Amino acid sequence: MNFEYSESLQQLLRKVDDFMEKHIYPIEKDYQEYVEAPEHLWKVYPGMEDLKTKARAEGLWNLFLPKEYGALSPGLTNLEYALIAEKLGKVIWASEVLNCSAPDTGNMEVLSKYGSPEQQERWLKPLMEGKIRSAFLMTEPRVASSDATNIETSIVRDGDEYVINGRKWWSSGAMHPDCSIYIVMGKTDPSAPRHSQQSMILVPADTEGVKIIRPLSTFGYLDSPVGHAEIDLSDVRIPASHLILGEGRGFEIAQGRLGPGRIHHCMRLIGCAQRSLELMCKRVSEREAFGRYIKDFSSIRQDIARSRCDIEQARLLTLSAADKIDRHGSAGAKDLIAMIKIVAPTMTCNVVDRAIQAYGGMGMSSDTPLASYYSYARTIRLADGPDEVHMYQLGRNTVKQVLKNN
């Protein structure tokens, strides 16, 4: 057991810090103003391509992809990338610059692990090069989708094709103008055993029968240009070769996709929390009320102290989960992966909320990233299953393990 970072890891982290300091933070305000102007809705920030080129030139590209799928990436461990994800999380759109943004990361991982050579050539390659973007169509408006057996979208074999019917929503990224491929989860066999009903299939965004109904907002944010779409799938016909891995293996793929994605989300959230704490510390050092700097009120100091404790604990927990995935795989880290999903989003909501409170009204506005951090963290408490589902399963597993060990 050892809580120190190696020298090489420290170097890599400094490199990411430098990139952020040089290329990201200086244009943060400019980016924000661009994307929130009504006339730029669903348009990509003009400087984005240039930023990507710079990142790629510095080797800061596809960092998320573990070494086993390594040719196109530097092959970091999950633990190493986790620390980078925290840094990227401080600016919500920074991950995209390094081609490390969800849901592309998860989709690239799926294609790397389970895609056929043809699928990899056609979609993984341009994704890895940042030329296209992708979405993951899982959640449905009509059912409690956290219970995957509720999923109603049908994927029916018809000759050399599959015919897909269903309604999906919260398909993040699908509003992006470059989003050209979806991974769709649906049932190929509703009568199969519980975990063999589901399959995943690749659906190009421009297929006939695919219709974007509307963008969804989170609080008042449309999160342009990424967006969260509601999408209708009506008699969408797809070549059978687009099915990933085989019929009935959707659940298996979903499980495999989970671990690293959770680490990324949680570490980005921890980045949001960490930066909120930093912003808060600065703000309370600049303002006075009732004859004292705000930083000298003991209640504010408590908020700061609690936030620091909360962040550090969640960080260690998430890093330990990443380390466990590296050593024992996602299955071996199952409980820890559930734990970080329970802990990190709520922790971030709490820390951000304290920072908003310290900022006063400004904290609610777009003059700081705080309000958008809150919206992001609050959404993650629901995405990928609400907290309640993870606690339900973790509680059950914990009882089982205790009874077994004692």
Site for its own copies in 188-227 (CB under 8 A): 216-222
**CA separation for the pair 103, 83 (Å, rounded):** 19
Interacting residue with its own copies among 95, 101, 105, 372 (CB under 8 A): 372
Contact with its own copies (CB under 8 A) among 30, 144, 158, 192: 144
Are residues 113 and 69 in contact, defined by beta-carbon separation less than 8 angstroms?
Answer: yes
CB-based contact 341:390 (threshold 8 Å): yes
The answer to whether 218 and 228 are in contact (CB under 8 A) is: yes
Buried b (16+ CB within 10 A) or exposed e, 280-297: bbebbeeeeeeeeebbee
- Among positions 281-320, residues that touch its own copies (CB under 8 A) are 281-282, 284-285, 287-290, 294-295, 297-306, 308-309, 312-314, 316-317, 319-320
Residue 282 and residue 38: Cα distance in Å, rounded?
31
Site map 374..393 versus its own copies, x via CB under 8 A: xx--xx-xxx--xxxxxxx-
**Which lies closer to its own copies via its Cβ, residue 255 or residue 313?**
313
Q: Taking CB under 8 A as the criterion, which residues in 220-279 touch its own copies?
A: 220-222, 277-278
Which of residues 184 and 244 has its CB atom nearest to its own copies in the complex? 184
Q: How far from the centroid of its chain's Cα atoms is residue 159's Cα?
A: 36
Residue closer to its own copies, measured from CB, 1 or 57? 1
**CA–CA separation, 396 vs 390, rounded Å?**
10
Residue 115 structure tokens: 């895609």
Straight-line distance from the first to the last Cα atom of the chain, in angstroms, rounded to the nearest whole number: 25
Distance of closest approach, residue 250 Cβ to its own copies, in angstroms: 18
Q: CB under 8 A: which stretch of 64-72, 85-93, 248-256, 357-365 binds its own copies?
A: 357-365
Q: How far is the CB of 241 from its own copies (least distance, A)?
A: 32
319-348 binders of its own copies (CB under 8 A):
319-320, 323-324, 327, 335-336, 338-339, 342-343
Site mask for its own copies (CB under 8 A), range 164-183, x = bound:
-----xx-------------
Smallest distance, Å, CB 46 to its own copies?
Answer: 21
CB neighbour list of residue 297: distance below 8 Å, 6 or more residues apart: none
Residues 97, 48: contact at Cβ < 8 Å? yes
Q: Which stretch binds its own copies (CB under 8 A): 96-104, 111-119, 246-254, 368-376?
A: 368-376
CA–CA separation, 38 and 42 (whole Å): 9
Residues numbered 8 to 47 that lie near its own copies (CB under 8 A) are: 9, 36, 38, 41
Nearest CB to its own copies, comparing residues 52 and 268: 268
CA–CA separation, 25 and 214 (whole Å):
32
Find the shortest distance in angstroms from Cβ 128 to its own copies.
27
**Two tokens at 207?**
């297929």
